Structure 1
Amino acid sequence: MYGMRGPPVPDNHIQTLPDNWFDQRVDHFNTSDTRTFKQRYFINNKYYKTGGPVFLLVDGENEGQDYFITAGALAGYAQRFGALAVDLEHRYYGQSLPTEDLSIGNLRYLTVGQALKDTEQFIGYLNRKLSLNNNTKWIAFGGSYAGNLVAFLREKYPHAVAGSVASSAPIQMTYDFNQYYPAVSQSLGTECSKQVREAFQLVVDQLKTPDGWLAIGKEFKLCTPLNGTDRDSVYRFMLSLMEPFAISAQYDGRSPMGVHRVCSLMMTTDNRTDNGSKSSPVDRLAQVMTEYRKGNCIDYEYNKLINVLKDIKPSPQAMFRQWFYQMCTEFGYFQTTDHSDSPFGHNVPIDHYVKICSDAYGKQFTPDVIRKSVDRFNQYYGGAKPENITNVVFTNGAVDPWHVLSVLTDLNPTTRAIYMNSTSHGAEMLQPLPTDPQELTDARLAIEKQLQLFLQ
């Protein structure tokens, strides 16, 4: 459950723009509910020229910050087009909190529909506040889940934005996302995946006996002894082992543990253990985990996860309850090993995720309820082929496992797809670097060309 957050912001980035606040309605669809909350946004007017467009970065399941409109690729586009650059924080994330707590009753206002209306209302507000020309054109940008939002914004509120740039946007919601791990395997390559498959099969064999549980605890530095009869904790442990490989693919190129590094560790078969014997695939898997977790033990217990998800106290640094709620109510996206060719074994079934939804948010979350919610969402927004959507550019990298749920070919003459073979999740949103592959540079130039068309 690695979320869909856009590309990781550099650790050394320091916010330079002040916080701004907008009085947003809590519930847009109940006229008798007049409550409002403070929604945070940032403005960068460094490149703005009178009469220029507005480039709006829509945030997703993360705390808002000013990186993308001051240093990211969007800032470069703003400079080229003389645009005002704006960043809008998503309701319930960061400091934009519509309710005092995150109780299940309050979370009912956390929907894509409410978030889209937030954006439409904010655009009208800023037009009035800044006395922008009636002909001012807005372009919406978003990555990952926020990429979905800007695509849907153009679909449902075409009067609000002249176009959208949807980066790594998996707009096809999926109850059982069993394609995720095979996509990870493809990004790892044949030989690396072979070593990974062997290692996971050996771990699965160890899970069959108490002696194997003890061995696992030592090999992988578990925080507490493993009880192999605790099925859901075993699932959490197996997900922990999969995590470095998933993250390496999802953020390859801008992550310390990219595909090259994890595969280098898994494929160095002549390594030796402390006693001088040749390392096994499990030894090498343990080495991956040690480096990925920086020596920290693996805290895998299911009950601890549920306690985190049941915490209703808001915090800008702890937003997992909100994101998983969205998964349970609208998205699915449950990354299972139910695929027939799962490279990581078959130890994380869809039932595990349904149980999390039920234990964290209430017994009303049954498989049928969740599945129907995902189906309704796709019917309303159109899934991977939304109808009557224009002026959107979808960008995806083949290394990113999420690309299988996105738009990979042009939908119509104005809704285009840019597909890159060597990049991953939202890479083109980041600040350009001299080391970027040529196709990433070409993708940014192609986006710029589409912006010119949207602004005509």
Structure 2
Amino acid sequence: MGSVYKYGNRKSPVPDNHIQKLPDNWFDQRVDHFNTNDTRTFKQRYFLNNKYYKTGGPVFLLVDGENEGQDYLITKGAVSEYANRFNALLVDLEHRYYGQSVPTKDLSVENMQYLTVGQALKDTEQFIGYLNRKLSLNNNTTKWIAFGGSYAGNLVAFLREKYPHAVAGSVASSAPVQVRYDYKEYFVAVSKSLGTECSNQIRLAVNQLENQLRTPIGWEAIGNELNLCSPLNGTDKLSVKHLMFGLTAPFTIAAQYNGRANTIGVDQLCALMTNGKDVLSPLQRYAKVVGQYFNGQCIGSNYSQYINIIKDISIPSPAGWIRQWTYQMCTEFGYFWTTDDTDTPFGHNIPIEYYLSQCADIFGKQFTPQFIQKAIDRFNDNYGGFKLNVTNVVFPNGAVDPYHELSIVKDLNNSTRAILMKTTGHGADMDPTLFTDPRELTDARLAIQKQIQLFLQ
């Protein structure tokens, strides 16, 4: 099986040394908010941090996305620093179907029909009302500000759009609000972030790999060079695509996060790829980068084995959060990174068909290309995408992060502002303040704080 789970590299990183300290709290949430005849409930987990709270202060709600709920950002992140400034109560709400907040007995396709953005937004709106009652907060005077990063950044932006009575404003960090079927621009943006010289070396290495894929001798060489878990069969086209996608992970992580939370940064990675002092070939350097990323573990290349892992419907899932996230991609988001654009250093072995095969093979033949395309179009129509109709939201983004291409990078109106930082990655503004932070990141947090002040007036 090897390092198959690292292929889903959309999850925001958390420092390795973080240990959860806040106790679990639970809220009885409805399974289906939109069927009055369905009275089922489930336990949704949340965390509270009242370290900075003073009576009459606001509530800062961190909305989780495609990961287990964790207290890191409301104890050590920038959100807690804002709470200190505004005497706010800090709350973290775990997303349905992730972590310990699972509404159904298993993760079958039938049961995951309740895993939608619409249900998650209603969860949040209902939770806010619940906590106001539980803590005897004044609905008219206690203001809530919602925070989220990446997918959760989408959620807090849409929360303000659909339920403006629930939150006075939102901070939507690195939020790719414009979902996309064939996101072929992703790898182009990665290449741009890595720079011309680094991308050229990657292109040379991938060209060598693609040449080796033509013969059985080459398949064996690839297995040895890249430490594959099992022999590669080059006639198995889906396994080839799966391998080539997995090998992009070190480069997408570097571009997307640029050194956040113990990930390798662009400069560090590209120094390895462009090292003119060694006698290694581009492919050998590429293999070295990949080996360091997977930390000596063998690399899974068997597509069928990967699919069988993701098809397991048990809870907890042996695939962690990947089954749920893949379902959301196939039913609402897309975000399918492809090499369908000619201007990419990663070859042409990751077409849209690779992802469409996954949707059908994991969830059923009803997941046709037409079904998926229509679902994504419907999502953009419902939530607005680039034409989001919303007030009181701030959208911080890092230009190094490929996902900024799908976010809001220009002000939408006087109260919905965009902040674009040239050198930072995905969600960097949510991290704790460090003395090594670039000036633009410091300025961005000050601008966010100013917007929060305006939202609270």
Q: Same fold (TM over 0.5)?
A: yes
Give the equivalent residue in structure 2 for 1:97.
102
Task: Provide, for residues 307-360 of structure 1, a one-character-per-residue CA deviation record: whole Å limited to 9, x for no partner.
Answer: 121111122771110000000000000111101212111111101100100000
Residues 1:62 and 2:102 are matched in the alignment: no
Give the equivalent residue in structure 1 for 2:81.
76
Give the equivalent residue in structure 2 for 1:275.
none
Residues 1:201 and 2:210 are matched in the alignment: no
Question: What TM-score, normalized by structure 1, do the two folds share?
Answer: 0.97
Distance 2:185 2:357 in 1: 21
SS in 1 for 2:248: helix
Distance 2:203 2:173 in 1: 31
Pairwise CA distance, 1:253:
2.3
Distance 1:204 1:269 in 2: 23
Matches within 5 A, 1:361-372: 361-372=363-374
Distance 2:416 2:345 in 1: 35
Query: Which of 151, 161, 167 in structure 1 is aligned with 2:157?
Result: 151
Pairwise CA distance, 1:18:
0.7
Asked if 2 retains the 8 angstrom alpha-carbon contact of 1:253 and 1:423, the reply is no
Task: Provide, for residues 430-453 of structure 1, a one-character-per-residue CA deviation record: whole Å limited to 9, x for no partner.
Answer: 111111111111111000000000
Task: Provide, for residues 274-303 of structure 1, a one-character-per-residue CA deviation record: whole Å limited to 9, x for no partner.
Answer: xxxx32111111111111111221111101
Query: Which of 15, 19, 28 in structure 2 is aligned with 1:14?
Result: 19
Give the equivalent residue in structure 1 for 2:120.
115
Residues 1:188 and 2:186 are matched in the alignment: no
Pairwise CA distance, 1:94:
0.3
Pairwise CA distance, 1:4:
3.1
Pairwise CA distance, 1:209:
1.4
Give the equivalent residue in structure 1 for 2:238.
232
Task: Provide, for residues 244-297 of structure 1, a one-character-per-residue CA deviation record: whole Å limited to 9, x for no partner.
Answer: 1001111112234221222111101331xxxxxx32111111111111111221
SS in 2 for 1:339: coil
Query: Which of 178, 195, 215 in structure 1 is aligned with 2:184?
Result: 178
Task: Provide, for residues 214-245 of structure 1, a one-character-per-residue CA deviation record: whole Å limited to 9, x for no partner.
Answer: 11111111111111100000001111221110
Distance 1:222 1:104 in 2: 31
Task: Provide, for residues 72-92 of structure 1, a one-character-per-residue CA deviation record: whole Å limited to 9, x for no partner.
Answer: 000010010011000000000
Give the equivalent residue in structure 2 for 1:445.
446
Give the equivalent residue in structure 2 for 1:263.
270
Distance 2:424 2:299 in 1: 29
Count residues with an aligned counterpart.
Answer: 448
Provide the alpha-carbon RMSD of the alignment: 1.1
Asked if 2 retains the 8 angstrom alpha-carbon contact of 1:99 and 1:106, the reply is yes
Give the equivalent residue in structure 2 for 1:165.
171
Q: Unaligned stretches of 5+ in structure 2?
A: 1-6
Give the equivalent residue in structure 2 for 1:124.
129
Question: What TM-score, normalized by structure 2, do the two folds share?
Answer: 0.96
Q: Unaligned stretches of 5+ in structure 1?
A: 272-277
Residues 1:332 and 2:334 are matched in the alignment: yes
Distance 1:196 1:156 in 2: 43
Pairwise CA distance, 1:124:
0.3
Matches within 5 A, 1:214-293: 214-254=220-260, 255-271=262-278, 278-293=279-294
Distance 2:228 2:259 in 1: 29
Give the equivalent residue in structure 1 for 2:349.
347
Task: Provide, for residues 6-46 of structure 1, a one-character-per-residue CA deviation record: whole Å limited to 9, x for no partner.
Answer: 3x111111212110000000000000000000000001111
Residues 1:406 and 2:412 are matched in the alignment: no
SS in 1 for 2:177: coil
Query: Which of 35, 39, 42 in structure 1 is aligned with 2:40?
Result: 35
SS in 2 for 1:384: helix
Distance 2:9 2:197 in 1: 27
Pairwise CA distance, 1:5:
2.6
Distance 1:256 1:154 in 2: 32
Over the matched positions of the two proteins, sequence identity in percent amounts to 67
Pairwise CA distance, 1:3:
4.5
Distance 2:349 2:14 in 1: 32
Distance 2:266 2:9 in 1: 18
SS in 1 for 2:247: helix
Distance 2:21 2:201 in 1: 46
